[in-house]
Structure 1
Amino acid sequence: MNLVRAELLKIRTTNTWWLFGLGAVLMTALAFLVNMLTANTMLDGGIGDLEGINPEQAEQIRAQADVAYQAANLYTSGQFFGLLFVMLLGIIVVTNEYYHQTATTTFLTTPQRTRVVVAKLIAATGIGAAFWLVTTVLTIPATALYLASKDLGSQLGDGGVIRAILLNLLAYLLWGIFGVGFGVLIRSQIGATVTAVVLYLVGTTAASIIFTVLQQWLGWDWIDNLQVVVPSIASTLMISGTELPGSPPQWVGAAVLIAYAVVTGTVGTIIMRRRDIS
């Protein structure tokens, strides 16, 4: 616990955490406004005439018009950028050691490197939980007020909505672990953060386009579902309040993220134990 407190102290004594925290709050507010406009359209029968549309796509649109789906989407607003900020803080938990040249002192104080890495992983998940808590505290009353204005109730008694909120917490925890693993692989703070941002923002869109093109080219519907192997897409799947027809269930997204977390955490520990810190 002393090691964990030390890792948290290293984050608290820099300006990075509150800058990212402020960014997460602002992006959550923006995402909520966008999701509220979408929900307003969908819940007011804005799906339009679905004749002539592929039956499976029509079923997906109808499922998205369900109040539980829209409620879950509102309660988990801001996840996309929130996870990015958590991953970046996880990266900084590691790269700060090399940027400020404190790695030598850290490992001399605690020669058991595995314990240091575990402390960094715990600290990163704690940061993820804090970000989830702050954003959720903001979205729950805002969503409840919006739904009440439409006489729909808060939907917090719906199992799918509660599951989405809790799986959103799991996503925040796991992305903190991803950040630590990424920081171990690329020790340069600038290099790691820039690479992570590009992969997260551009890679998500590129992967979605590639899978869609392959699905249309080969005509195999199951290829489109392989998008779930992309961590950011798996995270989005986890927070759907209802299962969409033709899409993998929520637990698949959770399983994908857990697998990534186990791999990155294990690989990061092995590399940190063996790599020369000079």
Structure 2
Amino acid sequence: MSLTAATRAETTKQFTTSMWWILAIVLVAYIGSAAAGIAAVFAGTASGALPAGDTPTLPAEQLPPLLYSMATAVGYVFPLLIGTLIVTTEFRHQTLTPTFLATPRRGRVLVAKLAVGVLLGALFGVLGIFASVAPSAGILAAFGLETEFTSVDTWAMIGRMLLAYVLWALIGVGIGAVVRNQVGAIVGVLVFTQFLEPIVRLAASYVEVLADAARFLPGAAGDALVGASLYDSALVGASATGLEWWQGGLVLLGYAVVLVVIGHLVSWRRDVS
């Protein structure tokens, strides 16, 4: 089977299951509600409509990129999960055996899964960006604040957010190729992204010796690629300078390449029956 045919088969396989659209619905609901809630608070205090209390108020010009980037700051786990599921679902349901029988060149199958990962990552990116930008912009406009849609920087950031989603999906495919057990892979992804890395990044904002290394963590690299993050704005005391956007993109791409290569060499060649 050619690479084109293998990619077509993988695309059909993924879009005939319910997991992708279930995750997409959760993605939109989660990011949309989070962005709307935070935008209402920040825009209200910045415009003076709501009392700021003792907490410092963010300048109005900083709000659009901060709110729009919610799609990646809190939503990057979704393309990571869908990328992981592209591979581990086949191991779990033992459908990889007929796949390899149809396409004996296993590397070709993995490349086809990466192509589908790009497609799903872009799709999730569009949904996630819409879910964060639409309510945030609406609330900013309602409070009389600028949405910055006329700024080239805003659209460049949105483009980098879409790229980040694609790279996270590719990292997910790599994780799925390395960790064949679906439950183990999903639990590992959630534990690392929701607990371990946030704790390390929080510690790095206070401990200078950790700051340089923390820049190269996947989540930190993703935030650097996008160029804005609600998470980074909440951290204080960080002494290390963050990565440039292109450096963050290269770090994420490096994670994807390393994981895919390891998965192909160590796990993908093993017996699946």
**TM-score normalized by the length of structure 1:** 0.81
Query: Which residue, out of 221, 231, 242, partners 1:234?
Result: 221
How far 1:129 sits from its partner (Å)? 0.6
Task: Check 1:237–1:48 CA distance in 2 against 1; reply closer, same or farther (3 A cut).
Answer: farther
- 1:128-166 superposed Cα distances (whole Å, 9 cap, x missing partner): 110111222344333333332343443122233222211
Task: Check 1:202–1:115 CA distance in 2 against 1; reply closer, same or farther (3 A cut).
Answer: same
- The whole-number CA distance in structure 1 between the counterparts of 2:11 and 2:155 is 29
- The whole-number CA distance in structure 2 between the counterparts of 1:160 and 1:241 is 11
Counterpart of 2:236 in structure 1 is none
- The whole-number CA distance in structure 2 between the counterparts of 1:144 and 1:81 is 18
Query: Which residue, out of 176, 181, 200, partners 1:183?
Result: 176
- The whole-number CA distance in structure 1 between the counterparts of 2:151 and 2:108 is 41
Amino acid at match of 1:276: D
- 1:54-78 superposed Cα distances (whole Å, 9 cap, x missing partner): xxxxxxx89x6251x3212222323
Task: Check 1:118–1:246 CA distance in 2 against 1; reply closer, same or farther (3 A cut).
Answer: same
- The whole-number CA distance in structure 1 between the counterparts of 2:251 and 2:188 is 22
Query: Which residue, out of 54, 59, 63, partners 1:65?
Result: 59
Contact 2:69 2:161 in 1 (8 A): yes
Match of 1:78, SS? Answer: helix
**What percentage of aligned pairs have identical amino acids?**
30
Amino acid at match of 2:82: L
Query: Which residue, out of 8, 13, 30, partners 1:5?
Result: 8
Match of 1:275, SS? Answer: coil
Report the count of equivalent residues.
260
Aligned: 1:264 with 2:251: no
Counterpart of 2:82 in structure 1 is 89
Counterpart of 1:276 in structure 2 is 271
- The whole-number CA distance in structure 2 between the counterparts of 1:208 and 1:41 is 29
Aligned: 1:165 with 2:165: no
Contact 2:96 2:272 in 1 (8 A): yes
Counterpart of 2:121 in structure 1 is 128
How far 1:48 sits from its partner (Å)? 8.4
Contact 1:234 1:254 in 2 (8 A): yes
- 1:98-120 superposed Cα distances (whole Å, 9 cap, x missing partner): 11111111111111111110110
Task: Check 1:193–1:273 CA distance in 2 against 1; reply closer, same or farther (3 A cut).
Answer: closer
How far 1:213 sits from its partner (Å)? 4.7
- The whole-number CA distance in structure 2 between the counterparts of 1:153 and 1:246 is 31
Aligned: 1:251 with 2:246: yes
What RMSD over aligned residues (CA atoms) do the two structures have, in Å? 2.9
- The whole-number CA distance in structure 1 between the counterparts of 2:133 and 2:205 is 34
Amino acid at match of 1:35: I
Amino acid at match of 2:169: G
Amino acid at match of 1:25: V
